[in-house]
Structure 1
């Protein structure tokens, strides 16, 4: 009988997954440790590596994922192979079992932290369904997509300093907004606070100035995947975004999951991207590739499912986004985060933000606890996702949660 916790057959965080995070315990709150999730437990990866004589013990003993991420693809593969062996081989299970901490322990609570220091943050606009819906709302008499949309992945540089770990309260932002009936802008808390259900990609291997990352080299630079909620103040955004785009309407908070799933754990979820309707320049041409990901997202508002966006429908892949980010010679740094933009599918129940779900506030959501157009103080949003794993199993992504608190 294995000394490890007995996981249900359908557990999303078994040995096929093993995502990375950073944790501390109540009896030693100042000691942050690299952790690996296994079901409802987290393994002290550094302690396990020391106990088993791993050559990667120094990397895994760091207080965050930065050193491991910077070590490069060959090391990521080696560490993951070791971890899978430790969890699956009876020869190692006795050693690691005492180094597991229950995530829901009342006796010695575990605190999860932002798992890596965010260097730069880029947010994309990669869903054709989302971009088309927004275009129909904002430009009802024109083409839904802008002329450049099918030729390059549109994005903007966000604010790394306000990326926060799942569970951190989201303070309602304040700023300028201009209601249609007013002659001049007002300063007040946002009244159209929204979510954006997204998928984030975490860069490990950096580049030199002037170096470009080709589509084929994407996996050599991206360490893993996390879920993202890029909270948005739609009224602040609407007033400020012409002509330079998102600024204060987006920069107040971006929530990321506490767990980073290695790309290697998602190999069975690789799919071909949607059919390309316009010829692409060579550096973006992904014909014949399987760089899409079959991730199934779920968005809950106060416990009620409001959307189930399919990531496989995203027009632009993470490989194309990375290639475009660096085609001008911009450098990558360890800890760079780039997010997909709102994930939306073709059906009404697959839209990943309230702006689309309520069509700009025109059609309120009717929930058991009342109607919603945009978020109210006290609302809790939870985003989860899973992907197909080996032999019919599922691989889970760490959830990202946030509760709205009043403006200060």
Structure 2
């Protein structure tokens, strides 16, 4: 028996704020959380990013912060906000599960350790390992909220947290557990990581006058991706369990599909993406025509955007003109391991409110990206009943989540 799975809580620490409704309203208005990094962070090269205004004090004492990297701090905060939103704060959760996506772990801890190692007087903190390990956020969430079920971490580049949500959904659908915290976190805006991305020559070239417009997915003048940081957590729950508690239900998680391109470490392959899309729709028992909205992976790279559009055109066929598409990365940046979770939360809110956020800054769409785009500001969509969120990663892993109206 496959149990129905619903979203009952959302917790966000994002470049657009920490309250889901405020974040969604900002997205609907086309507002951007992208800004220029400091010269120290960006190695003196003009670089835009989605930066979070975050203080850990509400969740950690100064003593507790020892050995807890920024990525774990934001993960715990987002999980706490999600549990409160779901009416589960203070509840016994020993049998619940945690499914977290994180691409790079404690980047700040690693940077600090290596900086000290190569200094005149090297001294590396004995907590460097536990602060930097990729599963640290999930472990801290488990310890903070007393969660004793499966505590899993997925590190699959840009697909990490979409896979985490998908696997959390599967765990509930199969009857393994009633509740999971599923999502992702990433905090990699440190000089060495930024320098590595600069060396790849994939980052957008921001305008000094309007750095907030640096990320322009599907636009003819797009110049590359914009990195971001943050955390997003969803509370997934067996539907009858949520109904018995009498809590708000945002949407159903109805399907999940994965594939691997198995062709190139960085260049996306449309045929691999189509397999993930087909699998997700089949898992949800839906047809392409049933889907009214796609929150695209849409990174604003020259190769990635056309590949995704080609995959959508292939799967949707004659129904492609009725599929409305946007990339909210244009406003919050690419959170890498946390990207899928933030975009899943946005997609859930889109289905819940029957409103579709836009692709901002796409004033002149690239004809090669031949799909119906929501642009500039969001639109009402009273008939939308189902939506998908795409995450297509370096390494070739593709993940697609399907959400439907509760």
TM normalised by structure 1 equals 0.27
Q: RCO (CA 8 Å, sep 6+): is it higher in 1 or 2?
A: 2
Greater percentage in helix: 2
Larger Rg: 1
TM normalised by structure 2 equals 0.27
